[in-house]
Amino acid sequence: MRIKLLLSVIITASSIVACAEVANYAININYIPQNIITHKNSAQGKFVITIAAFNDTRTIDDKTIIGKKVKSKDDKVLALATAENPSRDVSSAFRYFLLKAGYSVDKVMPEWDLRDSSISSAWGKLVIGGRIDELEVICSNEGAGVQYNTVVKLQVVFADAQRKRILHTTTLESAVTLKHLRCSGEKMQEQINSALSMAIEKIAENGELDKIIAEISKVRSESLAD
């Protein structure tokens, strides 16, 4: 009798825990390699790059909100970045990718409003900044399970810090969809980090960064020759 009673208590407690709804999901933003990263040559590795903190231009008041679980029209559970300023985590993810790819990146992460006049020569040779236009993961009911829809869109700006001149602007974006059995904070974190990392890795697809490094190096060589 005692054994049956104990089992009944355990089952009831487990059901309560399983059905309990979290207040929100805590999400850590990180770069997670999605593809094999080609390591750069020694010349590119010696070229120091400064990553400026990205500007979060998403049209929401609370910038820590990066997603939600939608149960019904008026019933949602928010996914919140653990950092007070998730834009710096996005910048750190970008920096980590460049380090993994063999580039030299300064530890300093300055603020930059993406204007030529705001560039500091103390930022070295090349500064990379940008803005976050989209960064969101949504988990919603889909048939017998759920579906995760994740979008990331970054505007990335490259500038010659010594000449205080913007050289190039590009858009990096990705969209990921996943069908699953249930919503969880772990899976939401996995999806948004995958989408962010896929977007970041696109910077190396067409050699844009290497072309910019070559251009700055050429200008500096010509200036020294003069």
- Can you tell me the distance from the alpha carbon of 223 to that of 226, in angstroms, rounded to the nearest whole number? 5
More confident residue, 224 or 142: 142
The reported pLDDT for the residue numbered 22 is 73
The reported pLDDT for the residue numbered 17 is 42
- Can you tell me the distance from the alpha carbon of 7 to that of 81, in angstroms, rounded to the nearest whole number? 39
The reported pLDDT for the residue numbered 12 is 44
The reported pLDDT for the residue numbered 215 is 86
More confident residue, 47 or 17: 47
Q: Report the pLDDT averaged over residues 116-137.
A: 96
How far, in Å, are 72, 90, 156, 212 from residue 199 at the CA level? 30, 11, 11, 19
Q: Report the pLDDT averaged over residues 151-169.
A: 96
The reported pLDDT for the residue numbered 142 is 82
Pairing of strands 165-180, 24-27: unpaired
Residue of 93, 62, 94 lying closest to 80 (CA atoms) = 62
The reported pLDDT for the residue numbered 177 is 97
How far, in Å, are 35, 97, 103, 199, 209 from residue 38 at the CA level? 9, 11, 11, 16, 13
Lowest mean pLDDT among 61-75, 119-133, 135-149, 208-222: 208-222
| Sequence ranges of the domains in the chain | 24-225
pLDDT greater than 80 at residue 4: no
Q: How confident is the model at residue 226 (pLDDT cuts 50, 70, 90)?
A: very low
Lowest mean pLDDT among 41-50, 93-102, 173-182, 199-208: 41-50
The reported pLDDT for the residue numbered 2 is 57
- Can you tell me the distance from the alpha carbon of 127 to that of 79, in angstroms, rounded to the nearest whole number? 31
pLDDT greater than 90 at residue 25: yes
Helices and strands (H and E) in the chain: how many: 5, 9
Does an H or E element contain 105, and which? strand 104-105
Mean pLDDT over each residue of the chain, to the nearest integer: 87
- Can you tell me the distance from the alpha carbon of 169 to that of 183, in angstroms, rounded to the nearest whole number? 36
Gyration radius of the chain's alpha carbons: 22
The reported pLDDT for the residue numbered 132 is 98
The reported pLDDT for the residue numbered 220 is 58
Q: Which homologous superfamily does the CATH classification assign to the domain defined by 24-225?
A: ABC-type transport auxiliary lipoprotein component (3.40.50.10610)
Q: Report the pLDDT averaged over residues 43-68.
A: 91
Read off the pLDDT of residues 184-225 as tens digits, 9 standing for 90 and up.
999 999 999 999 999 999 998 878 888 888 888 876 555 544
Pairing of strands 48-51, 104-105: parallel
pLDDT greater than 90 at residue 45: no
H-assigned helices in the chain: 2-19, 42-45, 86-100, 185-201, 208-225
- Retrieve residue 35's tokens: 């593809």
